[in-house]
Structure 1
Amino acid sequence: MEQDCILSQELITQTTQLEEGIMQLNPDGEQRTPVTKIESSLCYLLTIRVIRARNIHQADVLSQTDCYVRLWLPTASTDKFQTKTIKNCKDPVWNETFYFRIQSQVKNVLELALYDKDVVTQDDHLFTVYFDIAKLSLGEQVFMHFKCDSQRQEELEVGFALDNISGPPETIITNGVLVSRKICCLEVQVVEKKKKKKKKSLSSEGMKEFSFKVQGSYEGTQDIMLGSDLVFSSSSPAKFHYARYKQPTLDVMLPGKKRPPSFRSRVYDTGPPNVQLHSLPSGKNMILAEDKGFDLYMKAEDCPDHLDVRLGFDLCVQEQDFLCKRQKYVAPALKKVLQLEQDLLDHETPVVAIMTTGGGMRSLTALYGSLRGLKKLNVLDCATYLTGLSGTTWTMSNLYRDADWSQKDLDKQISEAQKHMTKCKINSLSLEYLKYYKKQLCQRKREGRKTSFIDLWGLVLESLLHDGKDNHRLSDQQCAIDRGQNPLPIYTAVNVKNNYSTLDFKEWVEFTPYEVGLQKYGAFVRVEDFGSEFFMGRLMKKVPESRICFLEGMWSSLFSLNVLYIWNLSHSSEDFWHRWTQDKIDNIEEEPLLPLKPHELRTRLFTPPGPLGSALRGTLTDRLCVAQEHNFLKGFQMHNNYLENKHFCRWKDTVLDTFPNQLTQSEEFLSLVDTGFFINTSIMPLLKPERKVDVILHLNYSAGSQIQALDQTCKYCSEQGILFPRVDLSEEDRKNLKECYLFDGAETPGAPVLLFFPLINDTFQKYKAPGQMRSESEMEDGKVDLYGCCSPYSTYSIQYTEKAYDRLVQLGEYNILNNEDLILQALHTAVARKRQKRK
């Protein structure tokens, strides 16, 4: 039996690059080459012949297996295809052929899954073979023997052939990691031929229902209700956006016809023939069907190549413009702070960043104190970036409501925060507020969002930290940086995946007032469009931008924990349970052994876990809830050479990075959680080479160990090959931390200078200000119990007394002021290195 899954009349005779882009300059004057290109690229015809299997183990107790093979190549087709079932046979023979049209610059990984068919229960999944089509050479035919179990001598025999295919080339857009392919828009219009007199009421008997479906399109299925007195106007046809490479079919169900059990790829007995969309001429109106009462028209057009998702690893134009403006504030401030005689030139001005960690209301409060200390030292004007997660995002979003906050003293901001930190919180659970929460959640659902308990948490935060409804949005913060007057704020989260621990799968996500993006893929969207629906890089459905309280709920989602995370907190390691939550993946032998290519993946075998293993894995990895937003990577495909891309490799750290079919672009939603569920740090956006950060002020507000997050960051950067200074602390220092440590990164050329400020109460106990001893009556003010069992500063505490709030703000400020010398030393070092590098 032959199944012509995906055939095309297109002939690709050459691969030509259509657009190289324009050579641009970095802010320091260095040339940079755009990595995003529009190209026309070869497509091939892939022929797969599923021949036979040998020595398949017995899955049923009373009989041999009833085997069939399911084929899935998602980069070529939406559908999964399968062979016929061979009953009661351990050596089944199929000899069935399948065809796919594949794009040469896409990473095409074929999944061959062997199943045992069961009549009563769900079919048993025996194993899946992952085969990279990049192993094949054009014009050659090979017969592969996949050794699935060497002990039982199980094997699967499959034949492959890769050939040229007729037709014009396909235009793709790529940044070397993601590939966007051509999409088309199909319009279907229903027009009544004869209008009847208008009735007073329109009954269901007078309605005509048309149903259209394009499998794999963005819209999926659309139903049109046509009244007997109405004409479906040409101004509102049914639209379908689909990827041309999928070559889908338009399925039509006419009024009065019963919907078939499987509404896909078939012709109805009394309806019009369904249409293969790849055969439609572009831009031409065509009659789909004619009837006595109505006509059906359709038209397919190519969508423009412009993408609404920015593909690229460089900084966006707005951030580059900000850097130029911010430098006019930073250079004079550094000259003043360092008491330099001459002005700093552009290439001599270091990029300074303030990096914070989470810690609930403790981090919110302490950050105010740290920033006031930096303001008094005039160092705040030297900073280009300010990053945060969890509780510090609450402080940041409050500050950036004021367009000139860093140009003023912070006393007013601190007093306003104190008012909300010390107020009674029981009102947030009043009946009035509960009604308000319900109304807001219903509104988000109507807008097309997927709501969860984290959205409710965001609304509770709004009531805890503000008076009434807060209409502030992240894009509003552009006003606070449009002149370069404040540091650029960057908020962080991590994207996780269901059924995987954070140790196995997490991807960094950054939020600025300009963009939201995943730096691993080089994909960014305007912050106003975050949460909207995208397909293949095009904006399909605009959803109103979220109020910032909902983002704050996501950035600080305490409720995204799972059993593994709790175990990690109590035992400092997930290793004990980790083996129960991992896929059983093995590299397998294959005959013949094909020549090794640089970008190809090894052939691997996945063995599904049993019922007990699946249940245990779910128990360990399931999170209480996560914030889900529409995935703006949806529809993209991975480039054939994505694993060789230096940008992707820098952040490649998940077990699925070599499984392109299962990466984020295949998901309907992003699943976003607090960054603290991996490492309690917001430093990763600052380690992007494109930002060229020279000095990082690491303000730590973690509970428990003050050094743990820094140690985890060092380990992570070492494993990823990211330049980061070596943190060398003695055992004595680890037991009795000082207020500040300077790690200059001299042993790691290119690494930033790191100033580490743990949140501790050391000399503050005896000094109310640097060099000013406390009197006997003031000694009580120096007793700040940060982490004791009776401490008022627990991460889960939501209300402070005025005294507790004031003391924590003063402690944060004092620890900065008391280490002015180390701060100046770090800045001097950075300036000297910039000058030396230029020479």
Structure 2
Amino acid sequence: MGVATSSSQMESSPCNLLSVKVIRMKNLRKADLLTQSDCYVSLWLPTAAIKKVQTKTDKNSKDPVWNETFNFRIQSQVKNILELKVCDEDEHTPDDHLLTVFFDVSKIQLGETVRLNFQVNPQGKEELEVEFTMESSPDLPENIATNGVLVAREVACLDVQVNDGRLKNESAERKFVLTVEGSYEGTQNLTLGSWICPASPAAFHYIKYNQSELGIALPSRRQLSTSSSPDESESLTLPLNSLPIQDKVTIGEIRTFDLNVKTKQWTQGLFNSSRNLDVRLGFDLCTEEQNFLKYRKKVVAAALKKVLHLEEDLQDHEVPVVAVSTTGSGIRALTAMYGSILGLQKLNVLDCVSYITGSSGTTWTIANLYEDDDWSHNDLGDRIVEARKQASKSKMSAFSLENLRNYHKELSQRTQAGYKTSFIDLWGLMVESMLNDGTDDHKLSDQQHAVNWGQNPLPIYLALNVKDNITTKDFREWVEFTPYEVGFPKYGAFIRAEHFGSEFFMGRLMKKLPESRICFMQGMWSSVFSKNLLDAWHAADNSEDFWHRWTQERVKEIEEEPDLPEKPHEMATCMYTPAGGVSNALRNVLTDRPAVSKYHNFLRGFQMHNEYTQHEQFSKWKDTVLDCMPNQLRHTEEHLELVDTAFFFDTSCPPLMRPERKVDVILHLNFSEGSQTMPLDRASKYFSEQGIPFPKPELNEEEGKNLKECYIFEDAENSGAPILLYFPLVNDSFQRYIAPGVERSAAEMELGKVDVSSLSSPYSSRNVALKEDDFNKLLKLANYNIQNSENMILQALHAAVKRRKQFPSQAQSSS
């Protein structure tokens, strides 16, 4: 399969058999100064087996020898990274973790045996010697679906049935705890009693070709016998790959029950030929968004002809894609967003816009606008009046005893429905109370009604998927939300908006949960409480610092002998050395997040394609160390951990940089407090590092100190980069003009004094309320700044049309 595949393909792919013989170590380091290590090696290949295996322990030796062989069945199209963890066994304390070697087994060719010496410490001549053998598997090829980045593997279903045995009149309940690690269900309980005969079977869904096991915790002897013997419990372990498909197997008649298991193809699920995956694997826009663009293009073409005074109608290929991108900052952003949108509407430019993206506070404005199916063509006056009322009202009612009771009741119902609730969900309810007079039943998928015919721009919201105890700087993944889909551009994996929060496994919808109300989404998109100490540090100082170095994982590339032929998609062999206790304690303090928004992980079960790092689309968003460590990506986790994008940099541009959207012009509205150029500078630097075309904002020192209302940036050498109109939130000519070209009278000069930057500004992001006068001033300022920039906006639109006519067939690329 080519690495640039843009959509998922079903195919038959063989599995291979990997044998790993752990031979010995030379010159092993000491875990402590007093004694030699009692060493063993733990092996973990999570793409083949959930359970770890390990060698015996070689006592008190600096040159331990094991000569033990372990076998794994691996999927050839999956990125298989073997972890060899070297440990010192301790009798009375936890075992010491000395080091871990990460080895890409795709370096071993089919049909060959290779003995490698891993140089874990060349100075001390410390080596780990391991022999690898790769052979073909006699099993039938596996059915997989892949888009070149993610792989959905074949799933089997296990039924476990417990029947009463010899003591039919036994009245005591008997509880069985059944576990298949790595399965969708994980652990289930079966209870057998005289009134339940037979007990309802338990079903497990698991990767068919994984080395999975069924663990069975049997009832205690006291439950199984009328004797007074000690309360002892027993357990059984059954390898599932030893079971025949479709045949029922009786494990044994054990005292008072019969235990039967049966494996079968999951005919109603993943690879039923009559159904597709419920997760869309592909990098193209979904069908609904493509249809939206077709409808919207007609609206945009008519609007451009009007505002640009064109003599002829634009052809489809001549219609540019224009987007509005915003930053957040609480009530400040909410208010300024209304003013900016009002300005665009008055200039008749709003109908030229195809996308609006939001983050943090602007998502509050956007979500409110899209409750009206035709908002961009209606008078915004009533909505602004309501927004002013909500912004200026006292927020103390949000913390009233009655509301707290209502929050608790709804969060309890949400938990019962299957959601994992956190403080962020409570924050969402508080936001709803602060910005509404009652409950808002609006949902993200409801906004489809406002875009299905292209009557309004398509809204896109943004969040970051992060990891606890890791800074946002070290790991983050963009997650975009539209009324149609929620997904990861990096992985090319998307689900329907109404399914976000539901439970998935290996690309299939397993349990449908009720769609969240919009307030819970707003709480997540503006989750100001998810910042850890290092995120706060980086927000204040973007340079490398002492604390960051202390909290980074200590991973480095190591050599292996003999050298193996290299392929572009193969990963270098690496070694991880664990930090000491003090460093770990400091790391936990600095990187702990007070709260994150947790939703069921719809990527759960997927594995990474063997050549995923070479995939053109994945490479656009591959921006952290963990992206090259597939075992640490989120596909085995039950939940996503989602936070506000401002923890990385405050802009909602990333969804617009997907080449499939072909965005020609971005109107970047900056509402953040503090430096008015920093969000743009950080975005430009990020896109440059990613190789994504984006114009460089070039302002001299004097311009940076005295910012105007609008700047236009264009990369003349790269027609693939969008034209950027940047609107910092400044009070410049508004102090002297009440409207573009209309000077203020002496009596009106006071109205032009809008403090948006000082420490005493009423528009601090910490404030959750604004006085009516302050709301009106900021609204009018934002409205004026847009209208005063009319000529520059029209100039950018003219340039975009001209460029479309010059390059009619050119699709925007990432390079």
Q: TM-score, normalised by structure 1?
A: 0.91
AA aligned to 2:761 is S
Is the counterpart of residue 242 in structure 1 residue 206 in structure 2?
A: yes
User: Over residues 699-756 of structure 1, what are the superposed CA-to-partner deviations in whole Å (9 max), with x where a residue is unaligned?
Assistant: 0001010110100011111110001112111111111001000112213221111100
Is the counterpart of residue 474 in structure 1 residue 440 in structure 2?
A: no
Q: Which piece of structure 1 moves more, 139-148 or 559-568?
A: 559-568
Counterpart CA distance in 1 for 2:414 and 2:42 is: 39
AA aligned to 1:617 is R
User: Over residues 373-421 of structure 1, what are the superposed CA-to-partner deviations in whole Å (9 max), with x where a residue is unaligned?
Assistant: 0001111111110000000000011011111101112111111111100
Of residues 33, 37, 42, the one that matches 2:9 is 37
State the match for 1:451 in structure 2. Answer: 421
Q: CA deviation at 1:221?
A: 2.3
AA aligned to 2:109 is S
Tell whether the 8 Å contact from 1:208 to 1:228 is kept in structure 2 after alignment: no
State the match for 2:102 in structure 1. Answer: 130
Counterpart CA distance in 2 for 1:744 and 1:684 is: 18
State the match for 2:20 in structure 1. Answer: 48
State the match for 2:807 in structure 1. Answer: 837
AA aligned to 2:523 is G
State the match for 1:90 in structure 2. Answer: 62
State the match for 2:262 in structure 1. Answer: 299
Of residues 787, 792, 803, the one that matches 2:773 is 803
Of residues 4, 25, 33, the one that matches 1:61 is 33
User: Over residues 513-570 of structure 1, what are the superposed CA-to-partner deviations in whole Å (9 max), with x where a residue is unaligned?
Assistant: 1111111111111111111221111122222111111111111111111222222343
Q: CA deviation at 1:633?
A: 1.0
Tell me: CA distance 1:155–1:194, structure 2 relative to 1, closer, same or farther (3 Å).
Answer: closer
Is the counterpart of residue 522 in structure 1 residue 492 in structure 2?
A: yes
1:314-333 to 2 correspondence within 5 Å? 314-333=284-303
User: Over residues 219-273 of structure 1, what are the superposed CA-to-partner deviations in whole Å (9 max), with x where a residue is unaligned?
Assistant: 122222233133347xx5311111112132334455554899xxxxxxxx99998
Counterpart CA distance in 1 for 2:202 and 2:624 is: 41
Of residues 735, 743, 757, the one that matches 1:773 is 743
Of residues 726, 749, 761, the one that matches 1:756 is 726
1:22-421 to 2 correspondence within 5 Å? 34-192=6-164, 205-232=171-198, 236-257=200-221, 275-285=238-248, 287=250, 296-303=259-266, 304-305=270-271, 306-421=276-391
Counterpart CA distance in 1 for 2:82 and 2:293 is: 45
Is the counterpart of residue 650 in structure 1 residue 614 in structure 2?
A: no
AA aligned to 2:183 is S
Of residues 679, 688, 701, the one that matches 1:709 is 679
Counterpart CA distance in 2 for 1:758 and 1:93 is: 66
Counterpart CA distance in 1 for 2:57 and 2:90 is: 11
User: Over residues 628-649 of structure 1, what are the superposed CA-to-partner deviations in whole Å (9 max), with x where a residue is unaligned?
Assistant: 1111111111111001100000
Q: Report the identity percentage.
A: 58
User: Over residues 676-709 of structure 1, what are the superposed CA-to-partner deviations in whole Å (9 max), with x where a residue is unaligned?
Assistant: 0001000000000000011100000010101101
Of residues 819, 822, 826, the one that matches 2:792 is 822
Counterpart CA distance in 1 for 2:248 and 2:163 is: 13
Counterpart CA distance in 1 for 2:641 and 2:648 is: 14
Q: Which piece of structure 1 moves more, 791-800 or 557-566?
A: 557-566
Counterpart CA distance in 2 for 1:273 and 1:683 is: 54
Tell whether the 8 Å contact from 1:196 to 1:229 is kept in structure 2 after alignment: no
1:597-636 to 2 correspondence within 5 Å? 597-636=567-606
Counterpart CA distance in 2 for 1:118 and 1:142 is: 33
AA aligned to 2:517 is R
AA aligned to 2:129 is E
User: Over residues 487-527 of structure 1, what are the superposed CA-to-partner deviations in whole Å (9 max), with x where a residue is unaligned?
Assistant: 10000011111222211111111011111111111111111
Is the counterpart of residue 696 in structure 1 residue 666 in structure 2?
A: yes
Q: Secondary structure of the equivalent of 2:538? A: helix
Count of aligned pairs: 794
Tell whether the 8 Å contact from 1:368 to 1:809 is kept in structure 2 after alignment: yes
Q: Which piece of structure 1 moves more, 249-258 or 749-758?
A: 249-258
Tell whether the 8 Å contact from 2:171 to 2:194 is kept in structure 1 after alignment: no
Q: TM-score, normalised by structure 2?
A: 0.94
Of residues 445, 454, 469, the one that matches 1:499 is 469
Q: CA deviation at 1:575?
A: 2.9
Q: Secondary structure of the equivalent of 2:587? A: helix
Counterpart CA distance in 2 for 1:378 and 1:109 is: 56
Of residues 611, 615, 629, the one that matches 1:659 is 629
Tell whether the 8 Å contact from 2:463 to 2:525 is kept in structure 1 after alignment: yes
Counterpart CA distance in 2 for 1:213 and 1:518 is: 31
AA aligned to 1:630 is H
Counterpart CA distance in 2 for 1:800 and 1:530 is: 34
Tell whether the 8 Å contact from 1:180 to 1:637 is kept in structure 2 after alignment: yes
AA aligned to 2:240 is L
User: Over residues 620-670 of structure 1, what are the superposed CA-to-partner deviations in whole Å (9 max), with x where a residue is unaligned?
Assistant: 222221111111111111111001100000101011111111112132221
Counterpart CA distance in 2 for 1:188 and 1:522 is: 36
Counterpart CA distance in 2 for 1:147 and 1:577 is: 30
Tell whether the 8 Å contact from 1:272 to 1:288 is kept in structure 2 after alignment: no
Tell whether the 8 Å contact from 1:567 to 1:573 is kept in structure 2 after alignment: no
Tell me: CA distance 1:230–1:56, structure 2 relative to 1, closer, same or farther (3 Å).
Answer: closer
Counterpart CA distance in 2 for 1:205 and 1:312 is: 55
Tell whether the 8 Å contact from 1:375 to 1:409 is kept in structure 2 after alignment: no
Q: Which piece of structure 1 moves more, 353-362 or 204-213?
A: 204-213
Tell me: CA distance 1:149–1:34, structure 2 relative to 1, closer, same or farther (3 Å).
Answer: closer
Provide the aligned C-alpha RMSD in A. 2.2
User: Over residues 2-33 of structure 1, what are the superposed CA-to-partner deviations in whole Å (9 max), with x where a residue is unaligned?
Assistant: xxxxxxxxxxxxxxx8xx9xxxxxxxxxxx97
Counterpart CA distance in 2 for 1:382 and 1:232 is: 66
Counterpart CA distance in 2 for 1:274 and 1:713 is: 53
Tell whether the 8 Å contact from 2:144 to 2:151 is kept in structure 1 after alignment: yes
State the match for 1:721 in structure 2. Answer: 691
Q: CA deviation at 1:601?
A: 0.8
1:524-539 to 2 correspondence within 5 Å? 524-539=494-509
AA aligned to 1:721 is G
Q: CA deviation at 1:118?
A: 0.9
Of residues 379, 385, 392, the one that matches 1:422 is 392
Tell whether the 8 Å contact from 1:532 to 1:630 is kept in structure 2 after alignment: yes
Q: Secondary structure of the equivalent of 2:129? A: strand
Tell me: CA distance 1:579–1:193, structure 2 relative to 1, closer, same or farther (3 Å).
Answer: closer
Counterpart CA distance in 2 for 1:252 and 1:759 is: 63
Tell me: CA distance 1:512–1:607, structure 2 relative to 1, closer, same or farther (3 Å).
Answer: same
Q: CA deviation at 1:448?
A: 2.0
